[in-house]
Amino acid sequence: MGRKEKDKKQIEDVRLRILEVAKNLFLKNGFEATSIRKIAAEIQLSPTTIYLYYKDKGEIAYTLHKEGFKLLGEQFFVLQHVESGFERLKAMGKVYLNFAIQNTDFYQLMFIMKEPIDFIADKDSCQWEEGEFAFGALLQTVLDCKAEGYFKGLNENNVALNVWSLVHGLCSLKLQGHLDHVASAHLHVPEDRDLLEEAFETFVMMLDKMK
């Protein structure tokens, strides 16, 4: 009995080990360059064994995807203690930018790669708390801003979507190299991420006038 449970645990450990190795390889080499075969080799397992633990590569990606959302969610969570809605909104933007820059591969997986709809569709029990939380927190913050007199006459959903789109747009353009590209031609490009922060601060200045 005791031994049985111990083995069960070791079996579950394999599942986690696969994910861990997948994550490391992925964070080191990117998602495209991380193959089932390489994961298996690293863990000294046959490639096909992976399929006993994960349906396919997409499921591994999706599991990591969820992990990323949990990570970002935690960073958002601590901001709930910021009383002022507007201050919180600013902080959320900066946290988001920071997260994207410092976890480029996670960000890629979470927001840039196409959603693996197969798994998203399997949200029977409304699984997917992590992602929802992040946007929910943003929405609530926008509502708090409205209570503080901001965004009068504007729909809160649209405002939240605007904020998200703007920071995501900045991150996405930066991470995919488009910013360095166009920017280097027209804008004199400052320190890597300062460009993003500076742009966001301009946005904040605009929001600030929306009182």
Partner DNA sequence: TTAAAATATTAACGGTGTTAATTATATTTG
Partner DNA sequence: CAAATATAATTAACACCGTTAATATTTTAA
The binding track of 80-119 with respect to a copy of itself, each residue x by CB under 8 A or -, is -------------------------------xxxxx-x--
Q: For 142, how many CA atoms within 13 A lie in the half-sphere containing its CB?
A: 22
45 binds, among DNA, a copy of itself, none (CB under 5 to 8 A by kind): DNA
Residue 191 sits in the site that holds a copy of itself (CB under 8 A): no
- Are 133 and 73 in contact by the 8 Å Cβ rule? The answer is yes
- Are 133 and 116 in contact by the 8 Å Cβ rule? The answer is no
Q: At what angle do helices 194-208 and 85-102 cross, to 10 degrees?
A: 160
Binding residue (CB under 7 A) for DNA from 24, 48, 127, 202: 48
Measured from the CB atom, the residue of 18 and 65 that comes closer to a copy of itself is 65
Q: Which of 21, 134, 135, 131 is nearest to 65 (CA)?
A: 131
Least Å distance between CB 97 and a copy of itself? Answer: 11
User: Within 10 A of 107 (CB to CB), how many other CB atoms are there?
Assistant: 22
- Are 172 and 194 in contact by the 8 Å Cβ rule? The answer is no
**DSSP symbol at 1:** -
The binding track of 3-22 with respect to DNA, each residue x by CB under 7 A or -, is xx--xx--x--x--------
Q: What is the dihedral of CA 169, 175, 180, 182, to 10 degrees?
A: -40
Q: Is 78 exposed, middle or buried (0-12, 13-18, 19+ CB in 10 A)?
A: exposed
146 binds, among DNA, a copy of itself, none (CB under 5 to 8 A by kind): none
The region, left, alpha or beta by phi > 0 then psi within -120 to 50, assigned to residue 4 is: alpha
Residue 24 sits in the site that holds DNA (CB under 7 A): no
Measured from the CB atom, the residue of 5 and 124 that comes closer to a copy of itself is 124
Residue 189 sits in the site that holds DNA (CB under 7 A): no
Number of residues near a copy of itself (by CB under 8 A): 50
17-56 positions binding a copy of itself, by CB under 8 A? none
Binding residue (CB under 8 A) for a copy of itself from 48, 80, 165, 194: 165
List contacts with a copy of itself (CB under 8 A): 111-115, 117, 120, 128, 131-132, 135-136, 139, 153-155, 157-159, 161-162, 164-170, 172-173, 176-178, 181-183, 185-187, 195, 198-199, 201-203, 205-207, 209-210
